[in-house]
Amino acid sequence: MSSVARRSRAIGVALLLLASAAAQVASADEAARVKVIKDALPAVVKIHGTPTYAGAEQGAVWGSGFFYAADRIVTNYHVVDGLKGLTVTLNDGRSYPAEVFAVDRGIDIAVVKVHGATAPATLKFSPSAEAQPGQTAIVLGSPFGKRNLVSMGIISGSGPFDYASQLGEGEVGVEIPEVLYTDARVEPGNSGGPLLNAQGRVIGVIDAVLGGASGIGGLGIAVPAPLVVESIHDLEEFGVPQRGWLGAVLVNLGELDPLTLRLAGLKSAQGAMVDKVLPASPAEAAGLKGAKRDRYGKLVELGDVIVAVNGKAVKNRFDVIREIARHRPGEDVKLTIWRNGKKVEVVVRLTARR
């Protein structure tokens, strides 16, 4: 055998060994992933009920959720809002009646109590404070009402998300400082289901889709696990969320007449005007002033304009709400406001949202 032939044979053998080693690694990774999913699926449920709100389509609507305790599951507030005859269907097809235990509209989370069933499995939340871009992301749930389905991708990143303008959900979700984005496929019905890491720990709760279906030009959106854990703790202990609340109706400066802003001495449309101060609220106690309007609702005089919270500039009312929500009841925050042609600082002691 020539030296060339011997070298060619050696190279071929080496390539075969490398291919075999790679296949074994792939098989090991795949086996580990399959085990994680197999262990997690019994904790995941389908939630369904009959809508009671106006304009709803006939028949049941559904979403997903998962057991974090023996008889309680976590899901999205928007999944259970306005539903009657709430039912939870387990991984094996058995169904049980359920009721809403407590809700946290600000971050679109609800805790649901299941009657007559004990969790076949529970999911644990990741102890890590942050999910990292590029990290494995596994989505479990009931897309289109089909139970026990799985998709996988990566964490694409994190950042703020304007629920009101993107989804038209009003005040739902407005207290989430940042959401997780994933390219793992998310469809209608996945809402409320878990977003897992490669170890099977919950790193987020699936909440919405930005753009189209994620995985086809869209991105899945999830509420980060640390925020969910804090919310569950507060709901179980107090029955209501324990994030800071200002108690004022705010309006984006960008929605007001630019001439009105200029006449008030404001050079920018970034900030939020206090339109109304709610009675017995932190805003009232701090002396914030609301706007004056005529009998037809037309603005006559600007209210206080919030331009910064604890020294951090705000662009709109959602920035104000999110910054306030980072604090707990009883904490003080310093608002920089524009009043009577000059900046004034006001300290507000927050309470829990009523």
Instruction: Kindly list the domain boundaries of the chain, sorted by start residue.
Output: 41-114, 136-238, 244-352
In CATH, 244-352 is 1.10.357.10: no
Q: What is the predicted pLDDT for the residue at 341?
A: 92
User: Is the confidence at residue 270, as pLDDT, over 60?
Assistant: yes
pTM of the model: 0.82
Q: List the catalytic residue out of 104, 108, 207, 275.
A: 108
233 tagged catalytic: no
What's the rounded mean pLDDT across residues 250-266?
A: 91
CA distance linking residue 282 with residue 347, whole number of Å: 10
Please provide the CATH number assigned to the domain covering 41-114. 2.40.10.10
Contact predicate 187/208, CB 8 Å = no
What torsion, rounded to 10 degrees, do the Cα atoms 111, 198, 206, 37 define? -70
What's the rounded mean pLDDT across residues 124-143?
A: 91
Contact predicate 223/107, CB 8 Å = yes
Q: In 286-333, where does DSSP find H-type helix?
A: 317-325
327 tagged catalytic: no
**pLDDT tens-digit profile of 52-91?**
876 666 666 789 999 999 999 999 999 999 999 999 999 9
Q: List the catalytic residue out of 191, 214, 231, 281.
A: 191
Options 2.40.37.10, 2.40.10.10, 2.30.40.10, 3.40.640.10; CATH for 136-238 is: 2.40.10.10
Contact predicate 119/179, CB 8 Å = no
Burial class for 337, CB neighbours closer than 10 Å (0-12, 13-18, 19+): buried
The residues with which 137 forms a beta bridge, in sequence order, are 153
Contact predicate 64/204, CB 8 Å = no
Total number of residues shown for the chain: 354
DSSP-derived letter for residue 199 is T
The domains spanning 41-114 and 244-352 adopt the same CATH topology = no
Q: List the catalytic residue out of 78, 183, 231, 304.
A: 78
String of DSSP letters for 233-266:
HHHHHHSS--SEE--EEEEEGGGS-HHHHHHTT-
